[in-house]
Amino acid sequence: MPILFSFLFLSSAFSTPLDFQTLVLSPLPKPHTLSWTQQDSESLTLPDPSQTPTTTLSVQLHHRDSLSSLDSTPDTLFTRRLQRDAARAKTLTDAVELAVKPNVSRARGKGGFSSSVTSGLAQGSGEYFTRIGIGTPPKYSYMVLDTGSDVVWIQCSPCKKCYTQSDPVFDPKKSTTFTGVTCGSPLCRRLDSPGCNNRQMCLYQVSYGDGSFTFGEFSTETLTFRRIRVKNIALGCGHDNEGLFVGAAGLLGLGRGKLSFPNQAGRRFGNKFSYCLVDRSASSKPSSVVFGESAVSRTAVFTPLLTNPKLDTFYYLGLTGMSVGGVRVKGITESLFKLDSTGNGGVIIDSGTSVTRLTRPAYVALRDAFRAGAADLKRAADFSLFDTCFDLSGKTVVKVPTVVMHFAGANVALPASNYLIPVDSKGSFCFAFAGTMSGLSIIGNIQQQGFRVVYDLAGSRIGFAPRGCD
Per-residue pLDDT of the chain (470 residues; tens, 9 = 90+): 444 433 333 333 455 689 999 999 988 877 666 655 554 444 556 555 544 554 677 777 767 666 655 557 888 878 877 877 887 888 788 888 888 876 544 433 333 332 222 233 333 345 788 889 999 999 999 888 889 889 999 999 999 998 888 889 999 999 999 999 999 999 999 998 899 999 999 999 988 666 678 999 999 999 998 878 999 999 999 999 987 566 789 999 999 999 999 999 988 899 999 998 876 555 556 788 899 999 999 999 999 999 999 999 999 999 999 999 999 999 999 999 999 999 999 999 998 889 999 999 999 999 999 999 999 999 999 999 999 999 999 999 999 999 999 999 999 999 999 999 999 999 999 999 999 999 999 999 999 999 999 999 999 999 999 988 87
Q: What is the 3-state secondary structure of 356-382?
A: EEEEHHHHHHHHHHHHHHCCCCCEECC
Number of Cβ within 10 Å of residue 168's Cβ equals: 11
Tell me how far apart the alpha carbons of residues 443 and 348 are, in angstroms, rounded to a whole number.
6
Could you tell me where the beta strands, DSSP code E, fall in 350-451? Answer: 356-359, 379-380, 389-391, 397-401, 403-407, 410-414, 420-422, 428-431, 433-436, 441-443
- State the amino acid at position 340 in one-letter form: D
Q: Which one of 85, 94, 210, 350 is the catalytic residue?
A: 350
Tell me how far apart the alpha carbons of residues 147 and 150 are, in angstroms, rounded to a whole number.
8
pLDDT of residue 39: 46
- State the amino acid at position 8 in one-letter form: L
pLDDT of residue 419: 97
pLDDT of residue 9: 34
Q: Which one of 146, 150, 279, 456 is the catalytic residue?
A: 146
pLDDT of residue 247: 75
94 carries an active-site annotation: no
pLDDT of residue 117: 25
pLDDT of residue 303: 98
146 carries an active-site annotation: yes
Long-range Cβ pairs for the range 464-469 (8 Å, 24+)? 464/300, 464/301, 464/410, 464/412, 465/297, 465/298, 465/299, 465/300, 465/301, 466/299, 466/413, 466/415, 467/299, 468/274, 468/276, 468/297, 468/299, 468/300, 469/276, 469/277, 469/278, 469/285, 469/287, 469/288
Edge-to-edge strand order for the sheet containing 410-414? 327-328, 319-324, 403-407, 410-414
Tell me if 239 sits within 8 A of 216, measured CB to CB: yes
